[in-house]
Amino acid sequence: MNDSQQASCSRKPASTNLSEYNIASNPPMLNPEEAEEDRKHMQKIIAALRYYQKYCYARVNKTESYLNSLPKRHQDMLAKYRNHLRVIRDCIDENQKVIRKMLRDNVDFIDMDGSEQIYVAQHDIDGHATKIRRQDMEHAQSTLKLIARDWSASCAEEREQSYKPIIDAIEEFFKPSEFALNEVKILVPGAGLGRLTYELAYRGYECEGNEVSYFMLIASYFVLNLCTEENKYTLYPWVHQFVNNLRMADQVMPIRFPDICPAKNPPKGNLMMAAGDFLEVYKTPNSYDCVATCFFIDCANNIVDFIETIFRILKPGGIWVNLGPLLYHFSDIQGENSIEPTFENLEVIIKMVGFEFLRSQTGVRTKYAQNPQSMLKSEYESLFWICRKPENAVDRIDDSSHCDDEYDELIDGGVGSSSNSSRYEDNYSNGYRNAYQHQ
């Protein structure tokens, strides 16, 4: 069984029929402990999503309560602002409605193994609100922004900046006129809300997204499989931003999604989403013709692990297309390990791992979930590269004596002998490896 099959194990047995879409029918590959860990993790995410409204209300209530303590004169001056807080609450209500719909319709994805449904009682959410971590609530809010980024017309420019260079590179390398695209296997680790994965499958490639966050998996499952109408839903993704606002309307600007409906525009190629930690799930060498990473490789504790894994799972001659700004996610996160090599370091490391650079570009202007109305404008001058695993590539990791000899040539004064031990041990690992498939 290869990684892809392993990754595609289902959250639901094949016996269940959904009206329009089937979920991949392989049985779960989790042992009982992993399944229990997975169930608890999913419960936490669901609790956070269901708690969204209360959490956001608490933020507004605090402001309103401070407002009430101000002198009457100030309160009069702030009358329109007070009304604005009411509008913000309405937007939070609307967001919660979409989240509720997402959770309700997702029941078949969320239901663990068909026998035991993930159950999070309301009194657990109300009574143990303190157990819901602020970080999870921030992820819930981010998920709304990322729905906007991937699936709303208003973020079309962002997608053009981030996804088009990758799609263009893949279409240039695997030309539709020269390849049977449904035989070109592409992996998108860090697939997020799934738009890049969808766009590649839509063009005919066999495309698998991989994502570790259940926030994103729940939302992408909803968009990819359960949205039946274009722009059916309305979200207020910027409602949580209380600073840098010019007009009240900016904070409560709605977006509609999905701008394109995958159900009505099914991809020509096979599309699958695989849940789980990239390093845990993908271990089988020579599996993919292309790995496409977009704002992903900096999500590693040790980026060298990511680079080696990408190298290993690529077929000889396969390509790695990457775009992003090296915003190392574990840098300065307490309790997490992190190294933060610069691009200058990475270029050498990528070559040492065995890749050839076909293209390398700096300064690619890309926004990431930028509130278009905000007075704060942030963008990255991202890196973009296309690397090839040579046809005659040797997996240096499994052939340490050979590779270390070569390293000695690359590194002045480098000394031989390597060890595989503890390579993954410092990486965060969640046992869940489940998936769903768009058909």
Binding to a second copy (CB under 8 A) within 348-387 occurs at 348-349, 352-353, 362, 375-383
- Whole-angstrom Cα distance, residue 292 to residue 357? 15
Q: What is the nearest approach in angstroms of a second copy to the Cβ of residue 401?
A: 11
Q: Does residue 80 touch a second copy according to CB under 8 A?
A: yes
Among 14, 58, 70, 107, binds a second copy (CB under 8 A): 70
Q: What is the nearest approach in angstroms of a second copy to the Cβ of residue 263?
A: 37
Q: Does residue 283 touch a second copy according to CB under 8 A?
A: no
Contacts from 247-250 at CB under 8 Å and sequence distance 24+?
Answer: 247/373, 248/80, 248/81, 248/84, 248/87, 250/371, 250/373, 250/374
Nearer to a second copy, 73 or 123 (CB): 73
- Whole-angstrom Cα distance, residue 246 to residue 241? 12
Q: Does residue 239 touch a second copy according to CB under 8 A?
A: no
Binding to a second copy in span 407-426, by CB under 8 A: 407, 411, 413-415, 417-423, 426
Does the CA dihedral 190-196-202-206 come out positive or negative?
negative
Q: Does residue 328 touch a second copy according to CB under 8 A?
A: yes
Contacts from 237-244 at CB under 8 Å and sequence distance 24+?
Answer: 237/144, 237/145, 237/147, 237/148, 237/371, 238/145, 238/371, 238/373, 238/374, 239/56, 239/88, 239/91, 239/92, 239/95, 240/56, 240/59, 240/141, 241/371, 241/374, 242/63, 243/376, 244/374, 244/375, 244/376
> How many chain residues touch a second copy (CB under 8 A)?
79
Distance of CA 286 to the CA centre of its chain: 24
Nearer to a second copy, 251 or 437 (CB): 251
Q: Does residue 76 touch a second copy according to CB under 8 A?
A: yes
Binding to a second copy in span 33-52, by CB under 8 A: none
Q: What is the nearest approach in angstroms of a second copy to the Cβ of residue 195?
A: 23
Tokens of 35: 């399944």
Q: Does residue 395 touch a second copy according to CB under 8 A?
A: no
Q: Does residue 391 touch a second copy according to CB under 8 A?
A: no
Nearer to a second copy, 40 or 131 (CB): 131
Q: What is the nearest approach in angstroms of a second copy to the Cβ of residue 56?
A: 12
Among 22, 284, 345, 439, binds a second copy (CB under 8 A): 345
Q: Does residue 107 touch a second copy according to CB under 8 A?
A: no
Span near a second copy by CB under 8 A; candidates 105-113, 143-151, 165-173, 245-253: 245-253
Kindly report the number of other CB atoms within 10 A of residue 255's CB atom: 23
Question: How far is CA 209 from each of CA 140, 185, 292, 410, rounded to the nearest angstrom?
Answer: 20, 11, 10, 34
Q: Does residue 339 touch a second copy according to CB under 8 A?
A: yes
- Whole-angstrom Cα distance, residue 124 to residue 337? 33
Distance of CA 385 to the CA centre of its chain: 20
Q: What is the nearest approach in angstroms of a second copy to the Cβ of residue 26?
A: 33
For Cα atoms 88, 89, 95, give the angle at the middle one, nearest 5 degrees: 90
Nearer to a second copy, 19 or 69 (CB): 69
Q: What is the nearest approach in angstroms of a second copy to the Cβ of residue 392?
A: 20
